[in-house]
Amino acid sequence: MINPYIFRGYDIRGKVGKDLNFKVVKRIAQGYAYFLNTRRIKQAVVGHDCRLSSEEFKNAMIEGLTESGIDVVDLGMCLTQMVYFAQYHYKTNGGVMITASHNPADYNGMKMALGYSYTLGTREILDLKKIVQENKRVKKAKKGSVTTGKDLKEAYFRDILKRVNIDKKFKIVFDPSCGTAAGFIKELFQEKLGFEIICQNCKVDGSFPKGTPDPTEEHILERLGEKVIETKADLGIAYDGDGDRLGVVDEKGGIIWADVLVAIFADDILDYLPGGKIVYNVLCSKLVDDVINKKGIALMYKTGHSFIKEKVSNERALFGGELSGHFFFMDNFFGHDDAFFATLRLLEYLQRKDRSLSKIIEKFPKYISSPEIKVGCPDNLKVKLVDDKITKELKQKFPYAKHTTIDGIRIDFKTSMLVIRYSHNGPYLTVKFEAKDQKQYEKLKKQVKEILEKHKEINWQEGSNVESLN
């Protein structure tokens, strides 16, 4: 019996050994092959991150696909964005990345493609779940072939580098927390671009000895900031486990939360294309809306990389971004999330403005913002808790505020905001709040904690950045 909760809002994730093993992954692969076959798709690219179970699961995926008649290009260990790029490079609609992104080392999962740069959304994930549960398979298929994507890395580097023009020789500290990105940083940023790089925690290790690679974690960015100050670098960059998200600190070691990066990228793009649409998720700061509306059209949408990517495409927006560090460029890129390309775009912007990162953000509206706080809540309880209980409480408590319920609930006041939503990819709630001054911030923090403490469904022992509520 496959745990139904591994089928999440936009990917598949579960605990290794408990939810996922070779047999389960192969069964999912057979279901995905059936899903592709109904669309007359006969090829797929498959890659994996550095997690200790990922190569085994990649082999299970390839076995299940090829036995079902799908021809596979085996990409080996790579970044998630390299799977997306490989779809274009090898001209195939199908694609799978074995990864659990920023989940702990004992988790794994997969992101699956349906068309170029397009990952399965909630509707397609539910279709796949039904196919797997009903044990539907491709019958009497001629076994598919397996080839190796040997030329992918060099082709990927060439593609992203041709889209930017960077002459300045930056000095940068990188910290991928021993994740997959560690295997690619030196070649791109030092050997090809000639930057002076300081790479800490750059030995690839799928056990994640430095902790889960999550660039939204405050302690990781603080660690990065200390190294930037020590080495007098221009900035610091952190990546997540599969390299499609990033976090940034400025030359003073100051944390630049990813919603501020959304504002920076929007500012850059709207310099060239004023009046364009920019998409951002409900967890982003009010400053994002402030910055975009000066030169463009701001569109708030629900959290999740596949949701934002789809919204950007449907709206024909120029760009989309999330607080989690996913960024989607459509002005001169494919529209999928690529943290290496986002890094290059940030550096090109800094070169063009000829100012430090801390100086750049001085012009932006100022808010005191919490990090993205995750508090534990079981998968079978989180939806009802947010939709039926917390949303109702917040509407009653703040009837005079603006309520947005496209993704959990967001409450906007004139100079502050708060968000409480359930995660699509883990057993927790996500919380974010901010205010213009410290007194207002502390009051809001207290109110948020009081609301959460009422509910026995909350597991305070699980999550991240929970200390930010104390």
Confirm if 105 and 207 have CB atoms less than 8 A apart: yes
Distance CA 98, CA 296 (A): 37
Confirm if 204 and 50 have CB atoms less than 8 A apart: yes
Confirm if 210 and 181 have CB atoms less than 8 A apart: no
Catalytic one among 68, 101, 117, 370? 101
Distance CA 362, CA 221 (A): 20
With the C-alpha atoms ordered 307, 311, 317, 322, is the resulting torsion angle positive or negative?
negative
Nearest to 14 by CA among 26, 22, 6, 23: 6
Q: Is 364 exposed, middle or buried (0-12, 13-18, 19+ CB in 10 A)?
A: middle
- 101: annotated active-site residue: yes
Nearest to 200 by CA among 178, 222, 170, 183: 178
Q: What letter does residue 142 receive in the DSSP assignment?
A: P
Q: Which residues have C-beta within 8 Å of that of residue 440, sequence separation ≥ 6? A: 415, 416
Nearest to 121 by CA among 306, 344, 262: 306
* Catalytic sites, residue numbers: 101
